[in-house]
Structure 1
């Protein structure tokens, strides 16, 4: 399917969707993403310049494993200490440098990997004329992947600043970027944060 013939336009219909940049993944927890802090400056720059056009998601686990649905119950059975009854509530907060941008940036809590697992997000974006999403955050191969694939199915154009994405697994991070470039070139543009900032004014 290849690459698009030119970069996607970044106009009034563009929003920045930042996935799960929370203390839960930034600090020393079982789910820490060590190089989150490496990509944080690029995300801070995009969000700081475009706070009103930014939506931050937060991954919010169930209170107990028993509250989860289907295979999620098995998942949280393996991670009982990561449910809300055991987690320190502040760990669900955004990292401080991004939390200070809310408002005017918006905050969206989600119960699963994809941002679109939060009912009504796609419709709300459509009402505002949004057709392009700049997606940053983590993890590239879990929540970002789920969000990107859902957004593709919903018809959104996706721009991925690759230096603003992070994962705990370098191999699958790299594989996903290769996949987007080679198989989803008409729907996904893999670029850099500096080029995004240059084009999105």
Structure 2
């Protein structure tokens, strides 16, 4: 089973243009995932979002600096490098991407299929942008996906949970689980996760968002008595 998994860490780069919720905790959990993957010989893939320094080929409306180049994730700068605490090791794969999804205009799918990978364990940033689009593309390409909810983050908790709820509603090959529960799963122990049981599982109106987040959290948390 373990040799069909791969760990995909999305855009954990030095770019500091965003203030991210609980980022230190996400880094710590990501480090745990990396250590475990390497101990179990699970292939590790990183993605890096890199915009060309000259600005050529940027999507319409992409924020630009005064010189016409990209305002963030500019090639040739330290900001595009993976943060030191999570630095790739020999044998890890680093996928450079020009758009949100790690599959867009990259050979990630080819590399995964060549390695026999059928399940992606996903963490990284931003939950509501690059993680979300990568997960939808992975689903379309036929992968099973495990999103580690406390190894992802974005600029607000509302956006983080909104993205998780969107994925839980429509990505039918998905499991959401915490880092601790993933470790239990990889050890062959009983574990808790949230997997879609039907379309629009977490349907809600705007005024119900807080309650829906609580409902999702209750599906992810191990009860104290356990």
TM-score when scaled to structure 1? 0.81
Which structure carries more relative contact order (alpha carbon 8 Å, separation 6+)? Answer: 1
Aligned ranges 1:58-69 → 2 under 5 Å: 58-65=48-55, 67-69=56-58
- How many positions carry a matched residue from both structures? 181
Q: RMSD in angstroms over aligned alpha carbons?
A: 2.1
Conserved? CA contact 2:31–2:86, under 8 Å: yes
For 2:115, the equivalent position in structure 1 comes to: 128
Task: Please name the residue that 1:189 is paired with.
Answer: 175
Deviation sequence 1:86-109 (CA, Å, 0-9, x none): xx711211111111x422322111
Matched, 1:20 2:8: no
Establish whether residue 97 from structure 1 lines up as the match of residue 88 from structure 2.
Answer: no
- Separation in 2 of the partners of 1:14 and 1:135? 10
Provide the rounded CA distance (Å) in 2 between the counterparts of 1:35 and 1:105.
Answer: 26
CA contact (8 A) 2:45 2:93 kept: yes
Matches within 5 A, 1:163-182: 163-182=150-169
- How many angstroms does 1:177 deviate by? 1.4
Alignment of 1:198 with 2:187, yes or no, is no
- Please tell me whether residue 153 in structure 1 is matched to residue 140 in structure 2: yes
Which residue pairs with 1:6 in the alignment?
none
Which of 76, 98, 113 is residue 111 of structure 1 equivalent to? 98
Distance 2:18 2:178 in 1: 26
In structure 2, list runs of 5 or more residues that go unmatched.
188-226
Residues 147, 83 of structure 1: alpha-carbon distance in 2 compared, 3 angstrom cutoff: closer
Contact kept in structure 2, 1:33 and 1:168, CA below 8 Å? yes
State the SS of the aligned residue for 1:41: helix
Q: Give the TM-score, by structure 2 length.
A: 0.73
- CA distance in 2 between counterparts of 1:77 and 1:21 reads 21
1:147-168 CA distance string (max 9 Å, x none): 0010010010010111111000
3-state SS in 2 of match to 1:115? coil
Q: Structure 1 residue 83: deviation in Å?
A: 5.9
Answer yes or no: is the 8 Å Cα contact 1:76–1:83 preserved in 2: no
Measured after TM superposition, the shift of residue 54 of structure 1 is 1.1
Contact 1:68 1:76 in 2 (8 A): no
Number of the residue aligned with 1:54: 44
Distance 2:142 2:10 in 1: 19
Which SS does the other structure have where 1:163 is aligned?
A: strand
Structure with higher Rg: it is 2
